[in-house]
Homo-oligomer: A and B are copies of this chain.
């Protein structure tokens, strides 16, 4: 079989940004630029929206050094979108654009929704007999993609969270008067990132006292009892909670009132961490503080794990290699090979259908029975992913991100 397919490629980014999604971009772009079969490398402005709008950048016109700086530039450099394809007319339009630019390779970098987009594009093009190879590149700090051992973006967010928890631990233990601190971590449906807070304990006694994941129903009374008991014993209590913790009935705690502790009877503007901290104050009289890690946990490229950066690049590079080898309708997945106990990341191709529209949660057995902490299995899983200090470029004492020209593509 001659797998050679000559034509242009489009690369797009979709969903929430991460600290390393641009490393995957560089993996795709660099490999594609170097591939003889690929005639032009186009970047879609704001993912599939840029394809629909015929807004493409000619990435062959970029400076090689600036492109390489994508390795340490956070967020989606080409712009992102949250756009779900709903109608056949959209797929027809995409096909039209692909014809116009003679696009034979489509690489899409995102989470489970983006894999759904990939799947639809791939299915449609096959149906209409337009030859084009479609490969998905995984990305999400949430680490909830099915089919892959872990996701590019998770390791860096986990490293930021663990480092920050260790630093905050030091900070809140400074006064003899004590403190109750609640740190709110991203991850609406899966607790991978919140669990990463426990990694803070690896180099000393800086771990949080409790870690609440969305996989286990949250019981406000038990939470308050735990915090109170710990505060009374240690004069301090540090808790990490997922933004996605839910009551038994499935409603988000973030959207509900902390019963009995505020009497306002309407939605609060304050974040979950602030409200849980306030609730914990009642009955303890402790000084409290709620901290929301907010966007910082997904864009802190300055603290990105080199393992994650390298693997994100590898995922992008592998996507191009996968397509060049003749595959289509696949997502790049990571496997874990633990030869002699040493972590090693491998590559596999999984059908997009395995990955699209699903969520991988933290296994219940990796959470303790009480639902208040992760187990050693979780630590062993996550710790290798935060290894390696990145060698980002710093100028003026500040990060030096890539500066692309973004020259509009013309045919």
Contact = CB atoms under 8 A, between A and B. Distances in A.
A204 B387 CA distance: 29
A274 B290 CA distance: 13
Interface in A330-367: none
Interface in A98-122: none
Contact of A167 (B172, B202, B300, B388): B300
A167 B166 CA distance: 21
Nearest to A75: B170
User: Interface centre among A166, A199, A269, A395, by most B CB within 10 Å?
Assistant: A269
Interface in A141-179: 159, 162-164, 166-168, 170-176
Contacts of A278: 269
A387 B395 CA distance: 9
A172 B295 contact: yes
Interface centre among A45, A289, A399 (most CB of B within 10 A): A399
Interface stretch (A226-234, A244-252, A301-309): A301-309
B302 A203 contact: no
A171 B303 contact: no
A315 interface: no
Contacts of A264: 264, 266
A386 interface: yes
Contact of A168 (B81, B296, B395, B403): B296
A272 to B, nearest CB: 11
Contacts of A400: 203-204
Contact of A296 (B204, B266, B291): B291
A173 to B, nearest CB: 7
Given A294-B289, A302-B163, A174 B79 contact: yes
A166 B268 contact: no
Contacts of A396: 202-203, 383, 387
Interface band, chain A = 35 or more
A401 interface: yes
A292 interface: yes
A262 interface: yes
A191 interface: no
Nearest to A291: B294
A383 B398 CA distance: 10
A62 to B, nearest CB: 15
Interface in A260-297: 262, 264, 266, 268-271, 274-275, 278, 289, 291-292, 294-296
Given A81-B175, A166-B399, A383-B397, 5 more contacts: A82-B175, A159-B398, A171-B298, A202-B398, A292-B294
**10 closest pairs, A vs B, by CB?**
A269-B270, A75-B170, A270-B270, A171-B299, A386-B397, A387-B397, A167-B299, A80-B174, A291-B294, A46-B176
Interface of A: 17, 45-46, 49, 73-76, 79-82, 159, 162-164, 166-168, 170-176, 199-200, 202-204, 206, 262, 264, 266, 268-271, 274-275, 278, 289, 291-292, 294-296, 298-303, 305, 307, 383, 386-389, 394-401, 403
